[in-house]
A and B are shown apart, each in its own frame.
Chain A
């Protein structure tokens, strides 16, 4: 309504006002309608380890009837698993720890779930109760920061290499942590003086991409393309004669991996 020229009659003005009020009402009530939309599970059978909106709903519903006490973070962890099993036990369902169709139907019937429930009475909490998971799965014994540090090293050492070459570099770091001849922590191995050129020349502090992170997670999860290697070198640039004397296992990309 940019122009309010005087050539409008009173009648049209009143009509306009009315329409404006209706529009405003509709607009303000829209968020309420969307927050109070009842969300039901998708068709999937939800299993331990899963992440996503279905898990958020599962956790919320289990929390609503007091089976789940943890944070609603969207990751189906142990807390959720036991809560679900207890629910299945109490409601006479087969106890398998899987949220299948019968379990989900029972849950929907016996609990209320409003998506973004927090936003209606507490606008500040809206961010946390969104549909995005606020946690991620990580391999046991590692933190996101460990993975980040390794991804930095892998990216600095082998960013031009094929994916397998990057998994291989991550695997060598892990093999060294296990090996009695090397320091026994990830940071100890990565920052051992002279161990990695990327550490020596500062390339480790380049921002790693998603690929190197995936490579690190693969290596931690047990993929070792190197055949238990603890050294690798680039034959084009290696200066040490000693490294050539190591028994060579295989070559991936530009690197030769050895024991």
Chain B
């Protein structure tokens, strides 16, 4: 009797567990399938867009009329952006697929810049036409490789989840058709010669970030420490460490880090080997309630910059984040603001200490500049703007435009209704280089409910 009961209960238990396990299994499969499907969507979307891209570039080549050329190039730009978006959703991060993504971005930038250009005034050059031909061929290569992969995926029911697992476990070398296929695509793209995108595009590539223009002779570790002392507070309890840059860096620098076990402060900074210029500095400590105003902070920061050898700077922006003031200074040469040469300074508002400096952009852009007399006058530039804009402030300024080139502009600050805009008009040709809506604060959401 008891035996029978126990057997019954156990049997029920087994059946129950089995049912539970089955349900769990079903659920897991459903989730896996869901993830798999979204990978498949991205993948098939990508191949479709590569098809479209190839065709569209082909169509552009056959076009004669400038009026249809611009929309067609805009279409190319849209397709590359979608394709790029789809690549970003595939689990390829651990697989080098960089060249292909870069290739897509480059086509996108090229087509955008030619599409927005006034092709009636400035038609496609012979070189740009050749570039399009090359792109047509290259996109064709990528398309056919991807088509092959797609065929295999559909024929053999290959799963992207397996790709993800293989890549995550570090077994890229295992035989996986999808991985091999994408490696082939990447190899194809790497085999392309550097495509010549023409003069419009020449400056578009990433800007030099190696502090090429930085002057000065190499410094030693001890000098680096001496410079760091101007920024950090060395006392008896501080542990200081100096390390050199890794082999992969394009420029030499010393990293100095300081840890004070007593006060709990952690300060670090990087200093260029050439000339000993500070790249950035951060001092992390608890900042208490403000006792000085943002305005006092500006005065402190100005004095500090002067002490550390930065001259000719003026404040361009000041912002308070809780108990910290973040100030942006830019070079001012003869009344012209050089926006690329900017230094940011962080001031603790509890005692006015400088707790951060970022001179990265300053060192990248720093150079001697000479300015010609601008071709158009302030009044002419003013007429180029939207007549609804009420101009409040104007000055001359240098900015980096969307073709990554430094241009001399007239800067206007003005309002339309309650919104403030910053508008840059090129001082050479009157082009509207940049229009920016200025907004620096946002309502706190905590009070929404």
What CA separation (Å) do A223 and B93 show in the bound complex? Answer: 25
What CA separation (Å) do A161 and B98 show in the bound complex? Answer: 28
Q: How many A residues touch B, CB cutoff 8 Å?
A: 72
B155-212 residues with Cβ-Cβ distance < 8 A to A are 164, 167-170, 172, 206, 209
Q: Are B282 and A192 in contact (CB under 8 A)?
A: no
Given A137-B319, A163-B266, A144 and B85 touching (CB < 8 A)?
no
Q: Are B320 and A50 in contact (CB under 8 A)?
A: yes
Query: Per DSSP, are chain A's interface residues mostly helix, strand or loop, or mixed?
Result: loop
A58 interface residue (CB < 8 Å to B) = no
For B106, the closest partner residue in chain A by CB is A180
Q: Are B266 and A44 in contact (CB under 8 A)?
A: no
Q: Are B440 and A192 in contact (CB under 8 A)?
A: no
Shortest A28–chain B CB gap in Å is 28
Q: How many B residues touch A, CB cutoff 8 Å?
A: 77
Shortest B271–chain A CB gap in Å is 12
Q: Are A224 and B280 in contact (CB under 8 A)?
A: yes
- Among B98, B101, B284, B318, the most chain A Cβ lie within 10 Å of the Cβ of B284
B105 interface residue (CB < 8 Å to A) = yes
Q: Are A136 and B93 in contact (CB under 8 A)?
A: no
Query: Per DSSP, are chain B's interface residues mostly helix, strand or loop, or mixed?
Result: mixed
B374 interface residue (CB < 8 Å to A) = no
Q: Are B420 and A136 in contact (CB under 8 A)?
A: no
Q: Are A195 and B320 in contact (CB under 8 A)?
A: no
User: Chain A residues with Cβ under 8 A from B94's Cβ?
Assistant: 194, 240, 242-243
User: Chain A residues with Cβ under 8 A from B98's Cβ?
Assistant: 181
What CA separation (Å) do A134 and B257 show in the bound complex? Answer: 38
What CA separation (Å) do A188 and B87 show in the bound complex? Answer: 10
**Which of A79, A192, A248 makes the CB contact (< 8 A) with B418?**
A79
A250 interface residue (CB < 8 Å to B) = yes
For A44, the closest partner residue in chain B by CB is B293
Q: Are A227 and B418 in contact (CB under 8 A)?
A: no
Q: Are B248 and A194 in contact (CB under 8 A)?
A: no
**Which of A44, A45, A193, A250 makes the CB contact (< 8 A) with B249?**
A250
The contact string, 1 if C-beta is below 8 Å from chain B, for chain A 32-68, is 0000000000001111111110000000000000000
**Which of B91, B249, B320, B447 makes the CB contact (< 8 A) with A249?**
B249
B356 interface residue (CB < 8 Å to A) = yes
- Among A136, A163, A189, A227, the most chain B Cβ lie within 10 Å of the Cβ of A227
B296 interface residue (CB < 8 Å to A) = yes
Given A50-B320, A227-B270, A140 and B358 touching (CB < 8 A)?
no
User: Chain B residues with Cβ under 8 A from A69's Cβ?
Assistant: 418
**Which of A134, A180, A250 makes the CB contact (< 8 A) with B444?**
A134
User: Chain A residues with Cβ under 8 A from B168's Cβ?
Assistant: 194, 200, 239
Q: Are A247 and B247 in contact (CB under 8 A)?
A: yes
The contact string, 1 if C-beta is below 8 Å from chain B, for chain A 148-164, is 00000000000000111
Q: Are A50 and B293 in contact (CB under 8 A)?
A: yes
Q: Are B321 and A137 in contact (CB under 8 A)?
A: yes
Q: Are A194 and B91 in contact (CB under 8 A)?
A: yes
The contact string, 1 if C-beta is below 8 Å from chain B, for chain A 126-138, is 0100000111111
For B253, the closest partner residue in chain A by CB is A227
What CA separation (Å) do A259 and B96 show in the bound complex? Answer: 13
User: Chain B residues with Cβ under 8 A from A188's Cβ?
Assistant: 85, 88
User: Chain A residues with Cβ under 8 A from B243's Cβ?
Assistant: 250-251
Q: Are A144 and B442 in contact (CB under 8 A)?
A: yes
What CA separation (Å) do A258 and B344 show in the bound complex? Answer: 25
For A179, the closest partner residue in chain B by CB is B206
User: Chain A residues with Cβ under 8 A from B266's Cβ?
Assistant: 162-164
Shortest A141–chain B CB gap in Å is 9
Shortest B304–chain A CB gap in Å is 16
Given A44-B293, A73-B441, A222 and B249 touching (CB < 8 A)?
no
**Which of A78, A184, A193, A250 makes the CB contact (< 8 A) with B420?**
A78
Given A194-B91, A227-B245, A240-B94, A221 and B440 touching (CB < 8 A)?
no
Given A78-B420, A250-B255, A136 and B444 touching (CB < 8 A)?
yes
What CA separation (Å) do A188 and B360 show in the bound complex? Answer: 26
Q: Are B356 and A223 in contact (CB under 8 A)?
A: yes
What CA separation (Å) do A222 and B326 show in the bound complex? Answer: 11
What CA separation (Å) do A239 and B165 show in the bound complex? Answer: 12
For B439, the closest partner residue in chain A by CB is A140
**Which of A145, A221, A259 makes the CB contact (< 8 A) with B358?**
A221
Given A50-B320, A82-B392, A134-B444, A239 and B170 touching (CB < 8 A)?
yes
User: Chain A residues with Cβ under 8 A from B167's Cβ?
Assistant: 194, 240
Q: Are B172 and A242 in contact (CB under 8 A)?
A: yes
A98 interface residue (CB < 8 Å to B) = yes
A70 interface residue (CB < 8 Å to B) = yes
What CA separation (Å) do A64 and B279 show in the bound complex? Answer: 46
User: Chain B residues with Cβ under 8 A from A259's Cβ?
Assistant: 248
What CA separation (Å) do A136 and B322 show in the bound complex? Answer: 8
Q: Are A249 and B248 in contact (CB under 8 A)?
A: yes
Given A77-B441, A138-B442, A182 and B101 touching (CB < 8 A)?
yes
**Which of B298, B318, B358, B415 makes the CB contact (< 8 A) with A223?**
B358
Given A218-B282, A224-B360, A137 and B320 touching (CB < 8 A)?
yes
Give the interface of B toward A (CB within 8 A).
39, 84-85, 88-96, 98, 101-102, 105-106, 109, 164, 167-170, 172, 206, 209, 243, 245-249, 251, 253, 255, 257, 266, 268, 270, 279-280, 282, 284, 290, 292-296, 298, 317-321, 325-326, 342, 344, 346, 356, 358, 360-361, 392, 415, 418, 420, 438-445, 447
**9 shortest interchain CB distances as A-B pairs:** A247-B248, A44-B293, A180-B105, A183-B88, A239-B170, A78-B420, A193-B91, A163-B284, A49-B318
24 pairs from A and B in contact (CB 8 Å cutoff): A44-B293, A47-B318, A49-B317, A73-B443, A134-B447, A137-B441, A162-B284, A164-B266, A181-B101, A189-B88, A192-B88, A193-B90, A193-B93, A200-B168, A227-B279, A239-B169, A239-B170, A240-B94, A241-B170, A247-B247, A248-B247, A250-B243, A250-B249, A258-B248
Known A-B contacts: A184-B84, A227-B270. Give 4 more (CB < 8 A). A127-B447, A192-B93, A241-B172, A248-B246
